[in-house]
Amino acid sequence: MAMTKPMLSLLAHLHAALLLLSGAGAAVYDVTRYGARPDGVTDSTLPFLRAWADACRSPRQATVLVPPGMFLLGSATFTGPCATHAVTFSIAGTLVAPTGYGWDATTGRWITFESVEGLTVSGGVLDGRGSSLWSCKRQQQQQPHVHCPTGASSLTISNSRDVVVDGTRSTNSELFHMVVLQSHGVTLQQVSVDAPEDSPNTDGIHIHMSSNVAVSNADIRTGDDCVSIGPGNSNLWIERVSCGPGHGISIGSLGQQQGMAVEVVRNVTVKTTWFTGTTNGFRIKTWGTSKRGLVSGITFVDSTMIGVHNPIIIDQNYCPGKKSCSDRSSGIKISQVRYIDIRGWSMTPVAVTFNCSRSNPCSGISLQNVRLMYEGMRLAKSSCRNVNGRTTGLVVPPSCL
Ligand SMILES: *[C@@H]1O[C@H](CO)[C@@H](O)[C@H](O)[C@H]1NC(C)=O
Ligand SMILES: *[C@@H]1O[C@H](CO)[C@@H](O)[C@H](O)[C@H]1NC(C)=O
């Protein structure tokens, strides 16, 4: 629906009125009062930062209000700590990134919340306008001399605690859509992500060095992992996620030569997921390097997979380009991984792959009530290397554990 200006301003006022009523005493900082313009072309970065600064300074519960309309926002970091632990960033409109790419050259991020405790980000559409950078990256694949920047992740929650992101949609990010970095107690609920299947590096949700992170009711369609879980994470709960197109839900890649000395991922539950036409379902991936680490206490439960290339896969021999992997036997130990109630069909004949490390075999792998066919009704296969574990209940294809 095309909205006229009076309609937009009526909506804005209604929205503000509702917020005032529901916010019971919250101070409201409307970005348009600071000069932000809902026209999609006026750079509103400074007004947004100023509205944030006032909200963050407020001694009582505060709301930054973004009314309906389209706001052009450059790279912006909303920094805490704030005076209260109850700041809301309420977005009714759409935030659009600058056109072209390279505008984010220093940070690699578009919108960041940094060092905030007690924050709710609600609603809104974040449009990263990634397509020109993706074209550059595609061209680079054909012509390696072409230079393209890495790009900017759309929304990053960094060094923060007790954060809720609720009902926010991220579309066409240049890089990762939503990132949780070095944070504790972050909930992403009712979020959605969409980008084309062939958009490079557009992970839906990336979680890194964080704990007690929950994702629920997420709808993700993108060109890379729907959810990717990097090193240093513990106590994650991921529930009711639909994924596809995309590369599935991945733990890893762990064990790249650079980065942390020891890489650990512990206590992750992924429950009730739907995969449609994805490259992977549940994947655990480590580089074939001697970097030490541990992946343990992982449960994948209740999943439907429709036309997934690798429904269940552990690959400890990841080494693209075969350059940086010194010995090709991963130093990351993978243990206590359970797959329970998984059904559907694989696009490839091998539906279950456990390709573990010679020096660190996978242990305590269990399959319970798994029924995966090949292309609809054909019998699929399992493949095992350096793995031990057990099965219970019906397991199809027959397990090689
Ligand atoms: C595992 O993580 C969940 C949250 O996802 C938490 O409730 C539970 O207490 C954790 N278990 C252990 C043993 O830390
Ligand atoms: C397992 O990894 C090794 C090393 O990269 C590779 O040669 C082999 O093909 C893989 N096996 C399967 C079944 O994926």
- What is the number of residues in the chain? 401
Within this chain, do residues 241 and 328 fall inside the same structural domain, yes or no? yes
Q: How far apart are CA 79 and CA 256, in angstroms?
A: 31
List the residue whose alpha carbon is closest to atom 4 of ligand 1.
Answer: 235
pLDDT, tens digit, for every residue of 327-349? 668 899 999 999 999 999 999 99
Q: How far apart are CA 374 and CA 376, in angstroms?
A: 6
Within this chain, do residues 117 and 52 fall inside the same structural domain, yes or no? yes
Binding site membership of 383 for ligand 2 (Cβ less than 6 Å): yes
Q: Would you tell me how many other CB atoms lie within 10 Å of the CB of residue 151?
A: 25
198 Cα–ligand 2 center, Å: 26
What are the backbone angles phi and psi of residue 247, rounded to the nearest 5°? -100, 10
Residue 21 clears pLDDT 80, i.e. is over it: no
What total of structural domains would you count in the chain?
Answer: 2
pLDDT, tens digit, for every residue of 271-325? 999 999 999 999 999 988 888 999 999 999 999 999 999 999 999 988 877 666 7
Sign of CA dihedral 146, 288, 333, 341: positive
Within this chain, do residues 364 and 394 fall inside the same structural domain, yes or no? yes
Average pLDDT over the chain reads 93
CATH number assigned to the domain comprising residue 217: 2.160.20.10
Q: What is the mean pLDDT of residues 358-387?
A: 95
pTM value is: 0.93
Within this chain, do residues 245 and 213 fall inside the same structural domain, yes or no? no
Q: Does 7 map to a domain?
A: no
- State residue 258's pLDDT score: 74
Q: How far apart are CA 52 and CA 335, in angstroms?
A: 44
Single out the residue of 253, 200, 249, 191 nearest to residue 225, CA to CA: 249
Q: What is the mean pLDDT of residues 81-95?
A: 98
Amino acid at 145: H
List the residue whose alpha carbon is closest to atom 14 of ligand 2.
Answer: 355
pLDDT, tens digit, for every residue of 157-200? 999 999 999 999 999 999 999 999 999 999 999 999 999 999 99
Within this chain, do residues 274 and 340 fall inside the same structural domain, yes or no? yes
Q: Which two tokens stand for residue 308?
A: 């997934």
List the residue whose alpha carbon is closest to atom 3 of ligand 2.
Answer: 317
Q: What is the mean pLDDT of residues 113-125?
A: 98
- Known catalytic membership, residue 15: no
Q: Does 230 map to a domain?
A: no
Single out the residue of 315, 239, 329, 240 nearest to residue 280, CA to CA: 315
Give residue 276's Cα distance to chain centre: 17
Catalytic residue among 208, 247, 309, 315: 247
**pLDDT interval class at 206 (50, 70, 90):** very high
List the residue whose alpha carbon is closest to atom 3 of ligand 1.
Answer: 235
Q: Which of 235, 237, 238, 270 to mutate to test the pocket of ligand 1 (most atoms within 8 A of CB)?
A: 235
**pLDDT interval class at 1 (50, 70, 90):** very low
pLDDT, tens digit, for every residue of 69-84? 999 999 999 999 999 9
Binding site membership of 187 for ligand 2 (Cβ less than 6 Å): no
What are the backbone angles phi and psi of residue 199, rounded to the nearest 5°? -85, 125
Sign of CA dihedral 104, 107, 109, 112: negative
Q: What is the mean pLDDT of residues 60-75?
A: 97
Within this chain, do residues 362 and 395 fall inside the same structural domain, yes or no? yes
Domain range for 259: 235-401
